[in-house]
Structure 1
Amino acid sequence: MNAAAVGLSHSPLIGTNDPAPDVLTAVAEAVEEARSFVHDFDPELVVLYAPDHYNGFFYKEMPPFCLATEAHAVGDFGSAAGPLAVDTEAARALARGVLDRGVDLTVSARMTVDHGFVQPLEVLFGGIDTVPVVPVFVNGVATPLGPVSRVRALGTAIGEAAADLDRRVLFLASGGLSHDPPVPVLEGAPPRVADALIDGHPPTPEQRAKGEQRVIQAGRDYAAGTSSMIPINPEWDNLVLDTLAGARLAEIDTWRTEWMGREGGGSAHEVRTWVAAFASLAAAGDYRFASRFYRPIPEWIAGFAVVTAELEAGR
């Protein structure tokens, strides 16, 4: 198996609350470099690690991670709706391989995904149905959150199982880095909100539009410095990137859930997708970063990063 990895931050505010033109240009150049990297690698399968924002997974049953054999996007924040091009046979093979390696894994035969899964597919591949994909949900929002060491174990097991497929596999991480958007929490929520977080009642178009407008306004307030959300933390973001760049993945086992949230904000746990992806790549061999971009972008409520990585032996 040949393998590569891409880490790509996402934000529902891209195209709505945009930063200054020079920042947009820098992001566009980094994204284009990642597209070129992916084009040259020409993956035969993409294993996509992404979180959910209470569009597909709810407290009625909230797994720490889940692999899909079929997936459908809801189309939130203007992202594409419809089925992903899931490689069902590859997904089933990876699920068996992970379980055989002693990592507990739930499997969804009809996963619902949102912009966290869709954005990287749209950005790098031009759509959600253009490349064979195995979607893997990694919980980064709903507490209680398990130790990040288990996410690393998941990534390692998927990487080892992917080797048995003998294909060019791209491990793609979506999310992070430090950010603290207005995501609802169950503890202390009013009954109507708590019921929605538990049972996952699909919002009406009006309710979805109202919720998305709240996020848009929160981004504007954040960029204006009038928000109480935890600030973006470039120091912590670069610690995460340095750790991954140096392939010092065992150090991540010492990261505590409370510390991650305190340093990076309530949704900093989306970096768990990056941990999984780079653990998968490390299972294929020694790797190195081929490119690295980082910029704190308050307008998108994100420490925004784009990273590509390849095996030391080359693509």
Structure 2
Amino acid sequence: MSENQNPQGHDLTRHDGDGTVARTDRFADPGVPEHHPRLADTDPRAAKRNERIIAILFAISCLGTIGSLVAYFAVRPDGTTPGVRLSTVLLGVALAISLFGIGFAAVHWAKTLMSSKEYVEERHSSSSSEEVREVVQQQFKDGLEDSGIARRPVLKGAVFSALALFPLAIAVPLVSSVGGDWNVGKFRNTIWRKGMRLAYDPSGRPIKASDVTVGSVAHVIPDVPAEERETHEWITEKAKAVVLLVRLDPRDLKRDHREGASYDGIVAYSKICTHVGCPVALYEQQTHHLLCPCHQSTFDVADGAKVVFGPAKRPLPQLPITVDDEGYLMAEDDFNEPVGPSYWERLK
């Protein structure tokens, strides 16, 4: 074997028109590998067994869809955190069973009962002749025959039942929610009120200004009674009212910083990014920048949380704060503007 031949003896040289010879790495087309029949191709009992397995998987999918509908109507959130969690878990598990049943059945069907032969179709122009179209139609008919669905009525009924039932798991909750609460005015305000203390999240312990050191960061929620923090309404309101508290050297605050919005270098901003609502929680102490991990919007804490980089277009809303007679941090009012990303009917 020469150095210009591959191990199979194929010539690896190219002779150009100017008489030069160049080496190339082209190999001959190995073609389609030899077909090896599966057990289900040669043993009718194995084929029947796989058919039953696939039918069972589709039946499991049907049960999952029915279970999701039962869970949706029978286990409604009762306004408490455990109730919401139970409803969510049951819906999620039922939908997972429904989807996985269809998926596993389809995969098992393709691997055990559908045709496993490999076919080669040479590329040609996109415009096909009438003869080619007839061949393609025949290939579709042959493929349908290879799938075995025509001669397997049990599988036909199972697959159509599963596929027909599954959309109900999505359509029923969607249709039942029509006519719900479309009041966008609730997005304009949060539960922060004048005199409400700032508390650590998630413990709910009120925060003293003297305990916050320069450079430190705290995740903050409104100070409400412990029993109130277990309600579904609290979870919804907390999602809008979460705050990131940072203490800077007062000299680092820009001169155009809003008067009365901070206390002795302590500033509080909404944690909800004004781009698409991700939690902004990555603080760089040296630059005083807050980073949103979703799309890298960056806000300058020392300059009113103005946008310095990224897709966000508006600063983070600021919560005006002061201290009460006992030295605890408290809100002077609600945020200076609606929190989060834009929505219809927003004034600014």
TM-score strictly above 0.5: no
| Bin of the TM-score, shorter chain as denominator length | under 0.3
Tell me which protein shows more strand as a share of its residues.
1
Tell me which protein shows more helix as a share of its residues.
1
Structure with more contact order per residue of length (Cα contacts < 8 Å, sep ≥ 6): 1
TM-score between both structures, scaled by the size of structure 2: 0.21
